[in-house]
Amino acid sequence: MKVLKATSLIIVLFLSQVIYLSGGHPVSVSASAVGAENEAPFVEVLPDVSSGKAPLFVRFECNAWDEDGEIGKVEWDFEGDGVFERANSVKGLKGQEKVSALRDALRGEKTFLKPGIFHILVKVTDDRETSSVSSVTIKVYSDTPYLDVVPCDREGFAYMARSGYEALFTGWMGDGSIQFEMGEAAISS
């Protein structure tokens, strides 16, 4: 019985067809082993830029594949709110039509008009309804400077402020002002 299952698995894998995106990453495998546990598909989203001044235009490309089946659906959440604004299904498509549709589904673009930190999500679902999600963070700046103050783990400093560079400071002064130390310079406010 084990020989029959192993032979069946080898035949199924031998007959499977792999569809590739540019760059050589498989995006879909068209056969699955009968009775095998379903593995989640792989997805990775890559932006052409990850930060910049508003308005910021960003193009996204994904690498995705499913080791034991086919990619059936690709969804995009450009707002980072868990609501997928764009969904593309490639179920039922065959051959070059499927390759083209999947290639288009794995590409996205967005213009960020306002400053902020945005978390872009891409969800890929396989032909057996198992999903994986990948995310990327986009930071959009404005002409108005701002500081993101966070606790610091560097020795001698309590906080760190980020605004395109790092400014370390020791803590709050008695009157509510802050002393920043940047290299050999110090700024007090």
Domains and CATH numbers, the chain: 2-141 (2.60.40.10), 148-188 (no CATH)
Question: Model-level pTM?
Answer: 0.60
Lowest mean pLDDT among 40-49, 102-111, 165-174: 165-174
155-158-160-161 Cα dihedral, nearest 10 degrees? -160
How confident is the model over 124-159, as pLDDT tens digits?
999 999 999 999 999 998 876 666 677 778 887 777
- Most confident of the following: 32-46, 124-138, 158-172: 124-138
Whether the predicted pLDDT of 41 surpasses 80? yes
State the pLDDT at residue 3: 43
Joined tokens for residue 118: 């945005």
Whether the predicted pLDDT of 23 surpasses 60? no
Whose CA is closest to 43, among 28, 22, 33? 28
Residue 94 contacts by C-beta under 8 Å, 6 or more apart in sequence? Answer: none
16-9-125-127 Cα dihedral, nearest 10 degrees? 70
